[in-house]
Amino acid sequence: MPNLALLIFLVVLFTQIVSWVGQTVLQDVGFTLYSRVFLSGSSSQQRKLRKQVLEDKAELSKTSSQDEFAKWAKIRRRLDKSIADLEKLNQSVGSSKSSFGVKFKSIIWILTSGSKLILVWWFRKQPVFWLPSGWVPGPLVWLLSFPSAPLGSVSSGVWSTVCTRVLVSIEEIVKASLVTSPQGPIPTNPFATQNEKPEAKIEPITLEHEKLD
């Protein structure tokens, strides 16, 4: 069945894409989008409190606790309250992020490993496609139809394994092609230094009496 083969391939492809990108990266992106929609008020309040804390700290550092004690104490109380509110809000956002992470991981598992297991089990007795008669030896025919597909066909479990192996091989080939090899010729004497002097050449000495002869 081409539709079943395509469906299993798409599920395996989506699973590999999640593996390539990284579940943590997808979770961070998902929470960012989630917070903009459902936690926009908390995010806006966080930004305001952080700005207020920075302004109060700057103003407090410029105010003398001895000469302007009343003003200093007022700024200090306001700063302490802003810090407490910010910590409480951070805890609330952190709790929401943890809850989102649990739900996100569950959804990703259902869409990847869970859906693949369900497809393989549900269509375990149904052939994905048939092999040409006489092309494959007997023992291999049984292996390709494992566990419950008719003999002479490829089972959903085997097709899922083949798709996974092919995509993993493509990933390895792409990674290997992106590795840069060292450029330029490799020196034959890597320990040579610039202080080495050229070898002296010995030239024959011509005696004076030889010239007279």
Evaluate whether 163 touches 9 at the Cβ level (below 8 Å).
yes
Q: For 53-72, write each residue's pLDDT tens digit.
A: 999 899 888 888 887 888 88
Q: For 103-132, write each residue's pLDDT tens digit.
A: 999 999 999 999 999 999 999 899 998 888
State residue 109's pLDDT score.
94
pLDDT for residue 99 is more than 50: yes
Q: For 3-51, write each residue's pLDDT tens digit.
A: 889 999 999 999 999 999 999 999 999 998 988 888 888 888 888 999 9
How wide is the angle at C-alpha 72 spanned by C-alphas 66 and 78, nearest 5°? 160
Distance CA 181, CA 166 (A): 25
> Could you tell me if residue 203 is inside a domain?
no
> Could you tell me if residue 128 is inside a domain?
no
Query: Which amino acid type is present at position 15?
Result: T
pLDDT band (50, 70, 90) for residue 210: very low
Per the document, the length of the chain is: 213
> Could you tell me if residue 26 is inside a domain?
yes
Distance CA 94, CA 49 (A): 16
Distance CA 146, CA 151 (A): 9
pLDDT band (50, 70, 90) for residue 207: very low
Structurally, how many domains does the chain consist of?
1
> Could you tell me if residue 41 is inside a domain?
yes
Alpha helices in 22-114 (DSSP H): 23-38, 40-62, 69-109
Q: For 76-90, write each residue's pLDDT tens digit.
A: 999 999 999 989 998
State residue 102's pLDDT score.
94
Boundaries of domain holding 103 = 2-122
60 C-beta neighbours (distance < 10 Å), count: 15
Beta-bridge partner residues of 73: none
> Could you tell me if residue 188 is inside a domain?
no
pLDDT band (50, 70, 90) for residue 208: very low
Q: For 150-190, write each residue's pLDDT tens digit.
A: 888 899 999 999 999 999 999 899 888 888 555 555 555 54
> Could you tell me if residue 182 is inside a domain?
no
Distance CA 73, CA 65 (A): 8
Beta-bridge partner residues of 153: 130
Q: What is the pTM of this model?
A: 0.68
Query: Which amino acid type is present at position 87?
Result: E
State residue 139's pLDDT score.
78
State residue 67's pLDDT score.
78
Return the percent helix, strand and coil in the chain, to nearest 5.
70, 0, 30
> Could you tell me if residue 173 is inside a domain?
no
End-to-end CA distance of the chain: 106
> Could you tell me if residue 185 is inside a domain?
no
State residue 141's pLDDT score.
84
State residue 114's pLDDT score.
93
State residue 186's pLDDT score.
52
Is the peptide bond prior to 127 cis by the omega test (within 30 degrees of 0)? no
